[in-house]
Structure 1
Amino acid sequence: MFIGHFAPAFAAAAVSPRSPKLGTLFIAAQLVDWAFFCFAIIGIEAMRIDPTATAMVPYDLYHMPYTHSLLGTGVWAVIFGLLVFAIMREAVAGILAGLVVLSHWVLDFLTHRPDLTLAGGDSLYGLGLWNLPFVAIPLELAITLGAFYWFVKRTRGPVGPPLVLLALLLVMQAVNWFGPHPEEAGLGLYIQALVAFAVLTLLARWVGDNRKHKRARG
C-alpha cells in the first residue's frame, strides 16, 4: 500500500481542531517507511527485488524487524506521539499522531504477503491483497479518496492546494502500479522513495497551512 497510508493522515486531520497539521500527519503515516529506507541504506534492514513476490509489487521485504513488526511500529508510534505532545502540549494531537503511525502496520497487513512479524520472530503475517489487484486497487483508492473528501469537508480554505496534493498522490500511485519496476534494490531506489515521501510531506504542509478545521477558533 502506498497512498492508502495517507488516508489515516487525512482522517486524523479532519477529526478535531486540536489535530496536528497535515504535514505532521503525513510524516506519521509513512514514518516506519522513512525509517526502513534509512535503515536499508546503512544495512540494518533489507529488501530485494523478486518478480514473483506478489502480482502487483515485486518487493521481497525479508528483513525489517525494527520498523515493520507490530512491536516496532508500536514503539515508533509511542515515540512520535510523545514528540508531538511535547511540541504541541496537546494530548489529542499526540494520540492521533501515534494512531496514524500505528495504522501503517494494519494497512500493510492487508496488502503484504506474509512478511510482517509481531516482534521480529519467525512467524509471518499478511493477507496478501497485492496478489488480488481487483481488490487491492479499489480498496486503496476508496480509503484515500474517502478520507480526502472528509478532510476537505471538515476544513475550510482554498481548494487548490488539496487538489494539487491529491493529483500528485494519484500520479505517484499510477507510476507505482503501472510503471516499470526496478530491477534491483539499492541506494537509488531507497533515495527515490525518501524523496517521494519528502515531496508529499512538503505539499501536505502547504495544504495544512492553507486550510483550517471548521471548528477552529478565529
Structure 2
Amino acid sequence: MFLGHFGVGLATKPLQPRVSLGTLFLATQLADLLWPTLLLVGVERVEIRPGLLAASPFDFVYYPFSHSLLAQVVLGLVLGLTYGLLQRNWRGALLVGLLVPSHWLLDLIMHRPDLPLYFGASPKEGLGLWHSLPATLAIELGFLAAGLWVYLRHTRPRNRTGQFALWGLVVFLVLVYLGSELGPAPVSVPALAWSSQVLWLIVALGYWVDANREMA
C-alpha cells in the first residue's frame, strides 16, 4: 500500500493536534522509508518480476528488518519514545508509536503472503488484493480521500500557502502513485531503491503543509 498510509496519517491528525502531519507521515511510512536504503546496502532483497501481480511486479524475497510485524512494533516503540522525549507529549508519542505497525496491517490487505511476522523462519501473511488492479486503485484512492476529508474537516489554512500547499501535496501523491502503478516496472533494484527515496520529500512536505495550517 502507498496512498493508504498517507490517508491514515491525515485522518489521525485530529486525535493529537500537537503532532505534525510530517511526523504522522514519518510514522505510517517508516517501513517504506527504511526499506530502500536496506536494499541499497544489501540487507534486504527484492526481485522485479513484471506480471507477477496485477498491481505489483515486486517479489519481496527478504525484508524482515523493515516489514516484519515484530520489527515494526520495535520501530514504533523507538520512534514513539524518541518523540515523547523530544516533544514532552506522551499522548502524541503513543499515537506515533502505534502508527508504525499500522503499516503492516494495511500492507496485509494488499500483499500476497510474503509479510513476515518476525525474523528468521517466520510464517508469511498477506490477503493478496494486489491480484486485482481495480480493487487496488479503489482501496488506495479511497483511503487517501477519507483521510483528506477528515483532515480538511478539522484544520484550516493559516494563510494562502496552507491552502495551496495541501492540494499540491495531494496532487503530487496521486501522480507519484499512478506513475508507479500504471507505468513500466523499474529497470533495476537500485533504480527502484533510489526513486523510492522520494518518500522523504513527502514527509518534509507534510511538515511544511501542517506548519501553514491550524486546527479549525
Q: Above 0.5 in TM-score?
A: yes
Quote the offset at 1:111 in angstroms.
0.2
Q: Deviations over 1:160-186 (max 9, x none)?
A: 111111010111111011111113312
1: CA distance, partners of 2:8 / 2:33: 17
Quote the offset at 1:155 in angstroms.
0.8
Q: Percent identity?
A: 32
Q: Identify the match of residue 199 of structure 2 among 197, 200, 203.
A: 197
For residue 100 of structure 2, what is the aligned residue in structure 1? 101
For residue 136 of structure 1, what is the aligned residue in structure 2? 136
2: CA distance, partners of 1:126 / 1:14: 30
Name the SS for the 1:44 alignment partner.
coil
2: CA distance, partners of 1:130 / 1:93: 33
Native 8 Å contact 1:7 1:148 kept in 2: yes
For residue 162 of structure 1, what is the aligned residue in structure 2? 166
Task: Find out whether 1:125 has 2:125 as its counterpart.
Answer: yes
For residue 176 of structure 1, what is the aligned residue in structure 2? 180
Task: Find out whether 1:212 has 2:214 as its counterpart.
Answer: yes
Native 8 Å contact 2:3 2:143 kept in 1: no
Native 8 Å contact 2:115 2:124 kept in 1: yes
**One-letter amino acid matched to 1:15:** L
Task: Find out whether 1:81 has 2:85 as its counterpart.
Answer: no
Quote the offset at 1:136 in angstroms.
1.5
Kindly indicate which of the two structures has a greater share of residues assigned to strand. 2
Quote the offset at 1:130 in angstroms.
0.5
1: CA distance, partners of 2:50 / 2:151: 37
2: CA distance, partners of 1:146 / 1:14: 13
2: CA distance, partners of 1:53 / 1:28: 29
**One-letter amino acid matched to 1:199:** L
**One-letter amino acid matched to 1:5:** H
Q: Deviations over 1:85-139 (max 9, x none)?
A: 1111011110111122111101110001111011133421100100012211111
2: CA distance, partners of 1:168 / 1:56: 20
Native 8 Å contact 1:12 1:100 kept in 2: no
In the alignment of these two chains, the number of paired residues is 211
For residue 43 of structure 1, what is the aligned residue in structure 2? 42
Native 8 Å contact 2:55 2:136 kept in 1: no
RMSD: 1.3
The unaligned stretches of length 5 or more in structure 2 are: none
TM-score (norm 1): 0.92
TM-score (norm 2): 0.93
Native 8 Å contact 2:7 2:144 kept in 1: yes
Name the SS for the 1:114 alignment partner.
coil
Name the SS for the 2:67 alignment partner.
coil
Name the SS for the 1:17 alignment partner.
coil
The unaligned stretches of length 5 or more in structure 1 are: none
